[in-house]
Chains A and B, each alone.
Chain A
Amino acid sequence: MIVAKRKPLEQIEAMLEGFERILIAGCGTCVAVCMAGGEKEVELLAAELRMKGKLEGKRRVIDEITITRQCDKEYLDQLAKYAGEYDVILSTACGAGVQFLAERYDDKLVLPALNTLFIGVAEGPGEWSQRCMACEECVLDQTGGICPMTMCAKNLLNGPCGGTNHGKCEVDGQKDCAWTLIYNKLKKLGRLDVLRKIQPPKDYSVMAKPGRFTHEAFEKAEDEEGK
């Protein structure tokens, strides 16, 4: 899932300077799971902003709404009947959700309340870690299910650098060396031979931004409509 973290309150306050009618729009999917932008977090953020506004004598109305997902048009439509009433919408979605919301309500200023961190997993309560760079060319079949593009600071494809340090990374002694993890895993699986193959340079042309993908079933449908 997408993991995100709320921006500092001061930064959000600064963005909202001068606006009276504010709608905080939460997102009920990834950012709700990682406790950054779901219904509960929206409630908390709204309370903090109201309190701060009151203490500073600001005239403002802060309302809340959390929808299932901000990265899907059908859910964004649910805001249609409210959007007009506000000067600004503060979105607690990931960067993708904020943009989709801003695109759907293009006469409205939409502001981000979160910083989007990464695609990751829940390691434990309140703890997430990055696992995927969305590089469009998965090599996990050759690396024991451990991604060198993500887990190695230098995204090396052919083995550890000289900075590998008793299983830790030179960049951050708290972090594991991805290539030690990959080596240990492949050894355990009896697949060390895979490591001996020289991996060619990554093809970054497939990662050309902005990415776009149409499922083939829908491609066909579009083609047929076109005819």
Chain B
Amino acid sequence: MAAAFRDAFATKDFVVTAEVGPPKGTDVAELVRHVDLLKDRVDALNVTDNQSSVMRISSLAVCRMILDRGGEPILQLTCRDRNRMALQSELLSAAVLGVKNVLCLTGDYVSVGDHPQSKPVFDLDSVQLLQTVCLLNHGKDLAGNAMQGPTDLFPGAVVTPEADPIEPQMIKFEKKIVAGARFIQTQAVYDLDNFKRFMDEARKHDVKIMAGIVLLVSPGMARYMNKNVPGIFVPDALIAEMAAADKDKRLETGIRIAGRMIRRLRDEKVCDGVHVMAIGKEECVPEILKAAE
């Protein structure tokens, strides 16, 4: 079993997490295959929460499946689908089921997903959710009531280093740390110089930073993300590198690019680790990590 995630920051110079997405429906065969493939190769596995606002198995259920298989899960919890009572209840449930880590997110809006008619909740925002985790860790709920037994959750948050404008993003980043975030997983980063500039600011705070790595599978994907995904910037040079590869070598090229980025982040001690998101290509994560050696 991988070492507990929070201890990994004390014992390792560079911590690695990957991500699995719960499926829609009850067939978990592929998910289990991915968990088994990744659980011993990374320090923890994020489990997304109705990712892209598409209804799926809950993050908590899959976190427990990961624990059963000897892995270390990070519960992703968004503010989209639950009010403050349901969020706290989920956090208590996570704690008693053995989950130790929680990543607090705002969540995508409902209209991007498969139930656009849903009532969006957003009773709390990500900063307030982080505060809530810390209250529960101290044995109190958000209404100030004492509880029978506190949680012991390691709270994390996200930041978008390429956000434009960057200043309001950085102000919120600081609030998240004040609110209790102990680790940060960033949105995908491709431009090392830009990321280093972000790190110059981020290093002023007592928080562990993990750079987001999203596997590129084609030049089209890179262009699509540049155009459509907020806060993602793939430099032209990388798009050209992807385009120059033969069609059947593109995935290999993407893996090489991701591996190279991880290697540089680690060898140049830019940040405390990486969070690898191989959206839909989880079986490539071991190769990405190998390419980073």
Contacts and interface: CB of A to CB of B under 8 A. Distances in A.
Interface string B82-98: 00100000000000000
A162 interface: yes
B111 A162 contact: no
A159 interface: yes
B168 A160 contact: yes
A202 B169 CA distance: 21
Interface centre among A154, A164, A170, A183 (most CB of B within 10 A): A154
Interface stretch (A75-83, A118-126, A192-200, A210-218): A192-200
B33 to A, nearest CB: 29
A160 B169 contact: yes
B112 interface: yes
B275 to A, nearest CB: 14
Nearest to B230: A165
B109 A198 contact: no
B174 interface: yes
A7 B175 CA distance: 45
Interface residues of B, number: 37
Nearest to A200: B128
A170 B120 CA distance: 15
B59 interface: no
Interface string B126-170: 111001000000000010000000000000001010011101110
A154 B122 contact: yes
Contacts of A160: 163, 168-169, 172
Nearest to B158: A162
Contact of B231 (A158, A165, A187): A165
Nearest to A173: B228
A115 interface: no
A122 B160 CA distance: 35
Contacts of A162: 105-106, 158, 160, 163, 187, 230-231
B108 interface: yes
Chain A: number of interface residues, binned into ranges: 20 to 34
B131 A183 contact: no
A180 interface: yes
Interface string A105-121: 00000000000000000
B230 A163 contact: yes
Contacts of A163: 106, 108-109, 230
B39 to A, nearest CB: 27
B168 A154 contact: no
Contacts of B127: 158-159, 198-199
A171 interface: yes
A164 B163 contact: yes
Contacts of A199: 127-128
Contacts of B172: 158-160
A166 B228 CA distance: 11
Given A164-B163, A198-B179, A158 B125 contact: yes
A16 B164 CA distance: 52
Which 10 A-B pairs rank lowest in CB-CB distance, beginning with the nearest?
A: A159-B172, A165-B230, A158-B127, A183-B168, A161-B106, A154-B122, A156-B125, A171-B109, A201-B128, A162-B160
Interface of A: 153-167, 170-171, 179-180, 182-183, 187, 192, 195-196, 198-202, 204
